[in-house]
Amino acid sequence: MSSNNNHHDHPKENFIQSYIFSVDHKIIGIQYGITSLLFLLFGFSLMAIMRWQLAYPGTEIPIVGFLFGEGGVLVSDQYNSLGAMHGTIMIFLGIVPLAVGAFGNYLVPLQIGAIDMAFPKLNAASYWTYFVGGVIMISSFFMPEGAARSGWTSYPPLSIFENGQTIWLISMIFLITSSLLGSMNIIVTIVQLRAPGLTWMRLPIFTWAQFVTSFLLVLAFPPLEAAAVMQLMDRVASTSFFLPSGLVMSGEIVEVAGYGSPLLWQHLFWFLAHPEVYVLILPALGIVGEILANNTRKPIWGFKSIIYSMVFLGFVSFIVWAHHMFLTGMGQAMSAFFQTTTMIISIPSVVILTSYFLSLWGGSIRFNTPMLFALAFLPMFGIGGLTGLPLGLAASDIYLHDTYYVIGHFHYVVAPGTIFALFAGIYYWFPKITGKKMSEMLGKLHFWPSLIFMNGIFMPMFIQGLAGVSRRLADGGQSYAHASGVLEWNEFMSISAFCLGLAQIPFIVNIIMSLFSGEKSSRNPWDSTTIEWAAPSPPVGHGNFDKPVNVYRSSYEYSVPDAKKDFKPQFEK
Amino acid sequence: MEIPYSIEEREDTGLINSKLGIWIFLASEVMLFGGLFSAYIFLRLAAPPGDFEYWASKLSVPMATVNTMVLISSSVSMVMAWASLKLKDFSKFKMYMGITLLCSALFMVIKYFEYTSKFSHDIFPSSSTFMAIYFTLTGLHGIHILGGVVVMLYFYLPFSHQLWHDQPEHFTNRVEALGLYWHFVDLVWIFLFPVLYLL
Tell me phi and psi for residue A149, to 5 degrees.
Answer: -135, 30
Instruction: Judge: A118–B132 Cβ closer than 8 Å, yes or no.
Output: no
Q: Is residue B1 part of a domain?
A: no
pLDDT at A1 over 50: no
| Maximum Cα–Cα distance across chain B | 62
Are the C-beta atoms of A265 and B35 separated by less than 8 Å?
no
Q: Which CATH number covers residue B26?
A: 1.20.120.80
Separation of alpha carbons A379 and A382, rounded Å: 5
A259 closest CB neighbour out of B3, B4, B46 = B46
Which of A125, A124, A253, A227 minimizes the C-alpha distance to A168?
A: A227
For residue B187, is it within any domain? yes
Q: How many CB atoms lie within 10 A of CB A134?
A: 24
Taking contacts as CB-CB distances below 8 angstroms, the residues of chain A near B27 are: 218-219
Q: Number of folded domains in chain B?
A: 1
By 3-state DSSP, what share of chain B in percent is helix, strand and coil, each rounded to 5? 80, 0, 20
In total, how many domains does chain A have? 1
Asked if the model's pLDDT at residue A4 lies above 60, the reply is no
Decide if pLDDT at A391 tops 60: yes
H-run or E-run covering A248? strand A248-249
CATH number of A77's domain: 1.20.210.10
Q: Which residues in chain A are contacts of B136 at CB distance < 8 A? A: 229-230, 233, 239
- Cis ω for the linkage preceding A548 (within 30 of 0): no
Tell me if B2 is assigned to some domain: no
* Residue-wise pLDDT tens digits, A32-67: 999 999 999 999 999 999 999 999 988 899 888 888
pLDDT of residue A33: 97
Those residues with Cβ within 8 angstroms of residue A227's Cβ, 6 or more apart along the chain or in another chain: A264, A265, A268, A269, A272, B35, B39
- A74: nearest Cα among A84, A62, A86: A62
B12 domain residue, yes or no: no
Interatomic CA distance for residues A52 and A123, integer angstroms? 40
How much is the pLDDT for A5? Answer: 43
Preceding omega of A11 cis (within 30 degrees of 0) = no
Percentage, residues of chain A above pLDDT 90: 86
Question: What pLDDT was estimated at residue A323?
Answer: 95
Task: Give the pLDDT confidence score for residue A10 in this predicted structure.
Answer: 53
Q: Is residue A525 part of a domain?
A: yes
3-class SS of residue A477: coil
The conformation of residue B2, written as its DSSP 8-state character, comes to P
Candidate from A218, A224, A227 with C-beta closest to B24: A218
Residue A258 contacts residue A175 (beta carbons within 8 Å) = no
The pLDDT value given to residue A3 = 39
The CA-atom distances, in angstroms, between A346 and each of A194, A278, A396, B128, B152 are 31, 12, 17, 42, 47
* Average pLDDT over all residues of chain A: 93
d(CA A67, CA A46): 12
Confidence (pLDDT) at A552 = 95
* Shortest CA gap A199–chain B (Å): 10
pLDDT at A290: 96
Strand partners for A248? A253
Residue B151 in any domain: the answer is: yes
The reply to whether B114 touches chain A by the CB within 8 Å rule is no
Residue A542 lies in a domain: no
Distant-in-sequence, close-in-space partners of A33: CB < 8 Å, separation ≥ 6 = A98, A101, A102, A103, A106
- CA A377 to CA A451: how far, in whole Å? 10
Taking only the tens place, the pLDDT of each residue in B80-139 is 999 999 999 999 999 999 999 999 999 999 999 999 999 999 999 999 999 999 999 999
Q: Tell me which residue of A37, A173, A142, A146 sits closest to A83, measured CA to CA.
A: A146
pLDDT tier for residue A14 given thresholds of 50, 70 and 90: confident
Spatial contact of A195 and A550, defined as CB atoms under 8 Å apart? yes
Provide mean pLDDT across the span A61-81: 86
Give the list of residues 6+ apart from residue B79 with CB closer than 8 angstroms, or none: B179
> A167: pLDDT confidence band, cut at 50, 70 and 90?
very high
Residue A384 lies in a domain: yes
| Residue pLDDT, tens place only, A464-521 | 999 999 999 988 888 899 999 999 999 999 999 999 999 999 999 999 999 999 999 9
Q: Do A233 and B125 touch (CB under 8 A)?
A: yes
Residue pair A488/A464 in contact by the 8 Å Cβ criterion: no
Boundaries of domain holding B51: 17-198
How close A218 comes to chain B (CA, Å)? Answer: 5
Mutation target to probe the B interface, by most B beta carbons within 10 A, among A4, A189, A191 is: A191
Pick the more confident residue, A412 or A2: A412
Residue A436 lies in a domain: yes
pLDDT at A178: 97
Residue A260 lies in a domain: yes
Q: Per the CB < 8 Å rule, is B124 touching A227? A: no
In a domain, A490, yes or no: yes
Contacts with A518 (C-beta within 8 Å, 6 or more apart), sequence order: A434, A436, A437, A438, A439
Exposure class string for B59-85: b at 16+ Cβ within 10 A, else e: beeeebeebbebbebbbebbebbbebb
Instruction: Using pLDDT thresholds of 50, 70 and 90, give the confidence band for residue B179.
Output: very high
H or E stretch covering A253: strand A252-253
Residue A417 is given by DSSP the state I
Q: What is the mean pLDDT of residues B15-32?
A: 96
**How many C-beta atoms surround the C-beta of residue A168 within 10 A?**
25
Provide, as residue numbers in chain B, all residues whose Cβ is less than 8 Å from the Cβ of A188: 17, 20-21, 24
Distance (Å, whole) CA A274 – CA A271: 6
Provide the pLDDT for residue A18: 79
Task: Supply the DSSP symbol for A530.
Answer: S
Mutate to test the interface with B, among A4, A27, A160, A188 (most CBs of B within 10 A): A188
Residue A477, pLDDT score: 87
Q: Please judge whether A116 and B36 are an interchain contact, meaning their C-beta atoms are less than 8 angstroms apart.
A: no
Residue B9 counted as domain residue: no
Q: Tell me the shortest Cα–Cα distance from A381 to chain B, in angstroms.
A: 30
| Chain B nearest CA to A226, separation (Å) | 6
- C-alpha to C-alpha distance for A354 and B56, rounded to whole angstroms: 56
Q: What is the DSSP string of B131-153?
A: HHHHHHHHHHHHHHHHHHHHHHH
Alpha-carbon gap, residue A65 to B141, rounded angstroms: 48
Distances (CA, A) of A512 to A505, A506, A509: 11, 10, 5
Q: Concatenate the DSSP letters of all residues of A428-456 into one string.
A: HHHHHHHSBPPPHHHHHHHHHHHHHHHHH
Region of A72 (left: φ > 0; alpha: ψ -120 to 50; beta: rest) is left
Contact at CB, A184 and B24, closer than 8 angstroms:
yes
Q: What is the mean pLDDT of residues A152-166?
A: 93
Q: Which residues of A touch B26 (CB under 8 A)?
A: none
Number of neighbouring beta carbons within 10 Å of residue A517: 9
Pick the closest to residue A261 from B69, B117, B129, B185 (CA basis).
B129
Query: If residue A252 lies in a helix (H) or strand (E), which one and from where to where?
Result: strand A252-253
CB A119 within 8 A of CB B21: yes
Show the domain range for A295. 25-245+253-534
Residues paired with A249 in a beta bridge = A252
pLDDT at A475: 87
pLDDT digits (tens, 9 = 90+) for B46-75: 899 999 999 999 999 999 999 999 999 999
Q: Which residues of A348-381 are buried (b: 16+ CB within 10 A; e: fewer)?
A: bbebbbbbbeebeeebeeeebbbbbbbbbbbebb
Beta bridge mates, A544: A540
Question: Are the beta carbons of B43 and A241 separated by less than 8 Å?
Answer: yes
Closest CA to A553 of A543, A542, A563: A563
